[in-house]
């Protein structure tokens, strides 16, 4: 049975957005991807498989998605697109995606994260067809974790421009919701990884360096912890949060729910690849917040969120994705 509801995904051609869009298409939704098609990775970086990672997105669903090229900072065209398609749900992913880039380019972070969010909120406050606005925040809003696991009520003390702008977007979303009765859901993901990533997140870097025999740099020996979250789990969590009645006007951590050291991820890759990796120990990065596990108990209880992939399972699936490319290369 075809679901006639329309879901409008800003930044939907990106890493996470492509998974969400493909899953929604499979469930029968009409999906509109609104994306500026901006490439944040360095175009001169030598990676054999960057383009193949791009091309892996929307496998089997590309012709079933409506793609609109547009930037959320351009309000007039964004407004026209929303009015044309009349979505019942808007999932707002469009933003500068990497914390380090945001810190180096604060004007761009403010424009893409804050201005884009304000534009969407100003548009949907005047329409009656949007029944849920999903704002994508980040675990970076917490700063250094004061307790572990960090639940949604953990103090918000971001240490980066990226975390600060994401938190500002949360505050604006809640303010508009109170003033204009906009139903919303806020999601805080963490350390997403998996096939199709091209933005130089940590697991992608580790795998690329392992396969291309380059040193893997571990700050402070890789003792820092992250809540590594496999992209398919996060996409499932977003869809649950976007449609579940109990998710309305709620904030959720959508992650794996486990704090794992960076060196554990490297050990998993080393076991899979079957030979010692080149490791370079570097000094601690004091600009990065000290994190760990996030509590996902609220999402489990209210909306039935149930992530499937442990770090071992997720890294192995991502590893097989890379291995396929190298095997194909050897055959050519």
At residue 69, the pLDDT reads: 96
pLDDT in tens, 95-146: 877 766 767 778 888 888 999 999 999 999 999 999 999 999 999 999 999 9
CA 32 to chain centre: 18
Q: Which of 183, 208, 85, 98 is nearest to 132 (CA)?
A: 183
Helical segments of 188-310, H only: 202-211, 231-243, 262-273, 297-303
Q: Which of 130, 127, 151 is nearest to 139 (CA)?
A: 151
At residue 330, the pLDDT reads: 47
DSSP bridge pairs for 9: 33, 91
At residue 45, the pLDDT reads: 57
Buried b / exposed e over 83-95, threshold 16 CB at 10 Å, is eebebbbbbbbbb
The residue behind tokens 């998993």 is: 268
Tallying the residues shown for the chain, one arrives at 332
SS3 assignment for 254-276:
CCCCCCEEHHHHHHHHHHHHCCC
How would you classify the pairing of strands 192-193 and 89-92? unpaired
**What 3-state class would DSSP assign to 104?**
helix
Q: Which fold has domain 6-198+228-259+293-309?
A: Rossmann fold (3.40.50)
At residue 184, the pLDDT reads: 98
CA distances from 36 to 70, 74, 245, 262 (A): 5, 10, 31, 32
How would you classify the pairing of strands 250-253 and 184-188? parallel
Each domain of the chain, given as residue ranges in start order, spans 6-198+228-259+293-309
Tokens encoding 272: 């899979």
Tokens encoding 296: 């996902």
Tokens encoding 86: 């009349």
298, 248 contact by CB (below 8 A): no
Tokens encoding 299: 């999402």
pLDDT averaged per 10 residues in sequence order, the chain, 332 residues:
81 94 95 86 59 70 92 96 98 83 78 93 97 97 96 96 95 98 98 88 91 90 94 98 98 97 96 91 82 97 98 97 72 47
Tokens encoding 284: 């601690």
How would you classify the pairing of strands 260-261 and 225-226? antiparallel
Phi, psi for residue 230 in degrees, rounded to 5: -70, 140
Tokens encoding 107: 């004007």
């Amino acid at each position: 049975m075809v679901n006639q509801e329309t879901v409008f995904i800003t930044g939907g051609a990106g890493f996470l957005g492509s998974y969400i869009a493909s899953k929604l298409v499979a469930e029968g939704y009409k999906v509109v991807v609104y994306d500026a098609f901006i490439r944040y990775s360095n175009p001169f970086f030598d990676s054999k498989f960057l383009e193949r990672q791009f091309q892996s997105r929307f496998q089997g669903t590309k012709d079933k998605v409506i793609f609109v090229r547009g930037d959320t900072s351009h309000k007039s065209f964004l407004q026209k697109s929303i009015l044309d398609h009349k979505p019942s749900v808007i999932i707002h992913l469009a933003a500068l995606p990497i914390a380090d880039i945001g810190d180096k380019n604060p004007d761009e972070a403010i424009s893409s994260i804050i201005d884009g969010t304000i534009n969407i909120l100003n548009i949907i406050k005047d329409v009656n067809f949007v029944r849920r606005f999903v704002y994508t925040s980040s675990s970076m809003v917490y700063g250094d974790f004061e307790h572990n696991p960090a639940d949604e009520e953990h103090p918000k003390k971001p240490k980066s421009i990226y975390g600060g702008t994401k938190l500002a977007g949360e505050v604006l979303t809640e303010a508009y919701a109170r003033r204009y009765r906009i139903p919303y859901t806020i999601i805080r993901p963490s350390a997403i990884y998996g096939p199709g990533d091209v933005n130089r997140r940590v697991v992608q870097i580790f795998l690329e360096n392992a396969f291309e025999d380059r040193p893997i740099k571990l700050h402070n020996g890789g003792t820092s912890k992250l809540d590594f979250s496999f992209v398919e789990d996060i996409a499932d969590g977003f869809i649950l949060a976007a449609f579940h009645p109990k998710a309305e006007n709620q904030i959720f951590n959508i992650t794996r729910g486990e704090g794992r050291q960076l060196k554990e991820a490297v050990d998993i890759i080393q076991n899979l690849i079957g030979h010692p990796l080149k490791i370079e120990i570097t000094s601690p990065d004091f600009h990065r917040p000290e994190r760990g596990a996030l509590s996902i108990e609220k999402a489990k209880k209210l909306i039935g969120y149930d992530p499937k992939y442990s770090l071992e399972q997720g890294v192995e699936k991502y590893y097989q994705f890379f291995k396929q490319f190298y095997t194909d290369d050897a055959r050519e």
